[in-house]
Structure 1
Amino acid sequence: MTDRNKGYIFAELEVTDPELFYSEYMPRVRPVLDKYQAKFLIASDAPKVLEGDRVVKRIVFIEFESPARADEFYHSKDYQDVIDYRFRSARTHLYMMDGVVPTN
């Protein structure tokens, strides 16, 4: 068990240009995620909203070894070089958060 918390990026997306998103953004972002040892925990095109009045089309939940590593990924030149493909192909709410340090 680790004694430090993980870092996470959570995204709510509505893909507006599937061709651009899946043929240009995804192939470019995958190697960057691999470089930063990111792990996809959830990627769903059918999230079920149990409470609230939001309509969420797609969610992605990615884990990094630490909050600093998640921040490093997001602000890296590698990611910034491909982020425009996402901006042009999807509407996104993106969140960065710290995990909870395990107590046992």
Structure 2
Amino acid sequence: MPSAYLIASVTVTHPAQYDEYRKWSTEAMRVHGAEVCVRGGPVEILEGDWDPQRTVILKFPSVAAAKAFHDSPEYRRARAAREGAAIMRMVVVEGV
């Protein structure tokens, strides 16, 4: 079964409030066994006009596992904490 990657591009608008989201999302990742591949860090544009502020990439054993994480009570709590603190763009991609 192929793995899956949850990829998020985040624009943080209220850093102090976003810290609360990070606390709860970290717990949700732990509970659901997400492998953190990228969480923030400097971004260097190589091509195009995409300029993400913050990038997060999480690895899961399957698309179903990534969706279960996203729909879980633990991550719903994180999303509620994030409301108004960031603009989130998120996709799940099947890996190889």
Please, what TM-score do these two structures have when normalized by structure 2? 0.90
2:16 paired residue among 1, 19, 34: 19
Q: CA deviation at 1:95?
A: 0.8
Q: Would the aligned equivalents of 2:11 and 2:53 in 1 still touch at CA under 8 Å?
A: yes
Structure 1 counterpart of 2:80: 84
**What RMSD, in angstroms, separates the aligned Cα atoms of the two structures?**
1.3
What are structure 1's unaligned runs of at least 5 residues?
none
Residues 1:56 and 2:48 are matched in the alignment: no
C-alpha distance 87-49 of structure 1, shift in aligned 2 (>3 A): farther
Q: CA deviation at 1:54?
A: 2.1
Q: Would the aligned equivalents of 1:45 and 1:57 in 2 still touch at CA under 8 Å?
A: no
Please, what TM-score do these two structures have when normalized by structure 1? 0.84
Q: How many residues align?
A: 96
The 5-angstrom pairing of residues 1-104 of structure 1 reads 4-22=1-19, 24-100=20-96
What are structure 2's unaligned runs of at least 5 residues?
none
- Runs of 4+ in structure 1 off by over 6 angstroms are none
CA distance in 1, matches of 2:31, 2:2: 20
Structure showing greater radius of gyration is: 1
